[in-house]
Amino acid sequence: MDNRPIGFLDSGVGGLTVVRELMRQLPYEEIVYIGDSARAPYGPRPAEQIREYTWELVQFLLTQNVKMIVFACNTATAVAWEEVKEKLDIPVLGVILPGSSAAIKSTRSGKIGIIGTPMTIKSDIYRQKIVSLAPQMTVLSLSCPKFAPLVESNEMASSVAKKVVYETLASLVGKVDTLVLGCTHYPLLRPIIQNVMGPEVKLIDSGAECVRDVSVLLNYFQINHSRIPNQSIPVFYTTASTQSFREIAMNWLNTDIDVRHVDLQAQDEGVGLENDG
Ligand code: DGL
């Protein structure tokens, strides 16, 4: 048993899609989350910068006494997960391997689409993982640079979002029977994506798949929460406005949460935490 929280990191609000699934599958676990919305999106940034920012998020979570870290961000997983998991002595999970396995299980035609941020697609990591597990698969990858910013600005239901998703995905329609949402922001656009791709296309939520692995690892290392009904409210830190984060999070999670601002640079100097009350 281990009653310390599980730490989640993302470039912004996308990791909430993983947290919602964790709350559903593992309601006893305590959560601490850091979203770097002040510097989102990560996807168009150079790898070295994403790596540096990801390490700052990891260091922050370590100050929160976490028992495990979930990279609730495909872009950070593509760039820094291997390195971080080697260096830490707590389990560190990424979203890419679980998403790849789920896509292989789901496809009937052997034609899988991957959508993600510019960095995730450029890294080619999904295609490599999928064909290393199942060489007969055909993988079509597509970068969707406009999707995460739409979600960060809470415009998921707007007519602009519909137009952008429709135009961006046009080249994939009719070509795949399974589509991996290879960015944790994308499940927030799911109804529009499903509508554009058609009802027969199976959408894989990489974050939700990853929570199954969280559960396996908690059991393996025997670090489950002790199942005293969890009274604690999950704590979410954001590097940007608490108001905007709270709005998106409350809508998505449908529960009471504690949102706090953190300045990661000031944190290094020993100040920087602030509650939004
Ligand atoms: N949510 C992130 C991902 O899963 C990153 C989006 C971004 O900041 O570009 O890739």
- The CATH architecture to which 6-94+208-261 belongs is 3-Layer(aba) Sandwich (3.40)
What's the rounded mean pLDDT across residues 204-219?
94
From the CA of 43, how far away is ligand 1's center (Å)?
Answer: 6
CA pair distance 208, 204, nearest whole angstrom: 8
Checking if the pLDDT of 165 tops 90, the result is yes
> What is residue 266's predicted lDDT score, i.e. its pLDDT?
74
Name the helix (H) or strand (E) containing 143: strand 138-143
Over the stretch 79-114, which tens digit does the pLDDT of each residue have?
Answer: 999 999 999 999 999 999 999 999 999 999 999 999
Exactly one of 139, 144, 183, 208 is catalytic; name it: 183
Is 153 known as a binding-site position? no
Was 120 annotated as part of a binding site?
Answer: no
| Ligand 1, atom 2, residue with closest C-alpha | 73
User: Per-residue pLDDT for 171 more than 60?
Assistant: yes
Which one of 53, 79, 81, 183 would you pick to mutate in the ligand 1 pocket, going by the greatest count of ligand atoms within 8 A of its CB? 183
pTM: 0.94
Portions of the chain given CATH number 3.40.50.1860: 6-94+208-261, 96-206
* Per-residue confidence (pLDDT) for residue 230, from 0 to 100: 59
- Pairing mode of beta strands 258-262, 273-275: antiparallel
CATH 3.20.20.70 fits 96-206, yes or no: no
Q: Where are the beta strands (DSSP E) in 26-155?
A: 31-35, 68-71, 92-93, 111-116, 138-143
**Rg for the chain (alpha carbons), in Å?**
18
Is residue 210 flagged as an active site residue? no
The overall average pLDDT reported for the chain is: 94
Is 183 in the active site?
yes
